[in-house]
Amino acid sequence: MSSPLFEPLPLDFSNLPKLPPRQGTAHKGQFGHVWLLGGDHGMGGAALLAAEAALRAGAGRVSLMTRAAHLAPALTRMPELMTHSADSSYALAQLLQQADVLVAGPGLGQAPWGRSLLSVTTTLDKPQVWDADALNLLAHGDISPAKSLLITPHPGEAARLLRCSVQQIQQDRPQAALCLAKRYQATVILKGAGTLIATMDGDLRRCDRGHPSMAGPGFGDVLAGLLGALLAQGMVDFEAACLAIWLHAVAGEQLGSGGRGLLASDLLPVIRSLLEAHSPCLAH
């Protein structure tokens, strides 16, 4: 990965995919059920941020599968959530039949608990977003990629997935993103300044929006939940990736003008307003 051979097209902000307006008779069953898997001990917040982002971006229902210790705090913050902590892989497989979209990885950890949750999802033929520790587990090689997969590595995770250094990833990010898409048969979002979207067919886009105030914990978790919500509302991987990346980066840019100390959860109301301006809930 030495010389940049592939020049990504800039994301076409004037022509981003839209969510359709909702009928007056709409009901929650039409906007998908997102299941969030994550939040091992010490990292419950990551899964919670992703779940909150999915709710705030319009998913019809959101279920959180996490450690039992995180259920009460999660419900205190968001009573709209449905919560579970499966006792066995069999029980989880049964529960996941209800899911339309899976988001796995935020705070999942790489211990047996996280590994067993992820191993249940690999066989499910549903749209899936894998982030954070789902990618670290995938990189270990003993979990196979799911069939319909969107992966969201930061450069550290990309380096683990391609078994190279972060420096090699950053030297030629376009090639790294395309290589990940081919190797894992997935749509890829390679995060960091100048986020890239790559598809298995070789389509490559770059987003030059965003702000260094986003270099803090949880911003990737919010992106993962946002992607889940857009997939649940009917977008395909590439559409969801383009719109989510734009909403996330522009929200960060707007709030970044306030300087350091931006919280990932601060993005949520801004993402909601940007989404409404872009794809109004009601037809005008």
Ligand X SMILES: NC(=O)C1=CN([C@@H]2O[C@H](COP(=O)(O)OP(=O)(O)OC[C@H]3O[C@@H](n4cnc5c(N)ncnc54)[C@H](OP(=O)(O)O)[C@@H]3O)[C@@H](O)[C@H]2O)[C@@H](O)CC1
Ligand Y SMILES: Nc1ncnc2c1ncn2[C@@H]1O[C@H](COP(=O)(O)OP(=O)(O)O)[C@@H](O)[C@H]1O
| Part of the chain binding ligand Y (CB under 6 A), chosen from 19-27, 93-101, 187-195, 272-280 | 187-195
| Part of the chain binding ligand Y (CB under 6 A), chosen from 56-64, 96-104, 134-142, 215-223 | 215-223
**Scanning the structure block, which residue is given the tokens 């979002």?**
189
When the beta carbons of 60 and 228 are compared against ligand Y, the nearer one is 228
Annotated ligand binding at 277? The verdict is: no
Query: What letters, b where the CB count within 10 A reaches 16 and e where it falls short, cover 176-202?
Result: bbbbbbeebebbbbbbbeebbbbbbee
Helices and strands, counts by H and E, the chain: 11, 10
The verdict on 244 binding ligand Y (CB under 6 A) reads no
Q: How far is the CB of 37 from ligand X (least distance, A)?
A: 11
The verdict on 107 binding ligand X (CB under 6 A) reads yes
Name the CA dihedral angle for 35, 54, 48, 36, rounded to a multiple of 10 degrees.
10
- Which one of ligand X, ligand Y, none is in contact with 210 (Cβ closer than 5 to 8 A by kind)? ligand Y
The verdict on 221 binding ligand Y (CB under 6 A) reads yes
The verdict on 225 binding ligand Y (CB under 6 A) reads no
Annotated ligand binding at 221? The verdict is: yes
The C-alpha atoms of residue 41 and residue 279 are separated, in whole angstroms, by 37
- Which one of ligand X, ligand Y, none is in contact with 223 (Cβ closer than 5 to 8 A by kind)? ligand Y
| R_g of the chain, CA atoms, integer Å | 18
Annotated ligand binding at 191? The verdict is: yes
The C-alpha atoms of residue 17 and residue 197 are separated, in whole angstroms, by 14
Interface residues for ligand X in 153-182 (CB under 6 A)? 154-157, 166
Distance of CA 154 to the CA centre of its chain: 12
The verdict on 100 binding ligand X (CB under 6 A) reads no
Sign of the alpha-carbon dihedral angle for 266, 272, 273, 274: positive
Measured at the CA of 113, the angle between CA 112 and CA 119, to 5 degrees, comes to: 80
Q: How far is the CB of 222 from ligand Y (least distance, A)?
A: 7
The C-alpha atoms of residue 22 and residue 220 are separated, in whole angstroms, by 28
| Part of the chain binding ligand X (CB under 6 A), chosen from 79-87, 100-108, 137-145, 228-236 | 100-108
| Part of the chain binding ligand Y (CB under 6 A), chosen from 7-15, 30-38, 84-92, 217-225 | 217-225
The footprint of ligand Y (CB under 6 A) covers 132, 154, 191-193, 195, 210-212, 214-215, 217-221, 223, 248
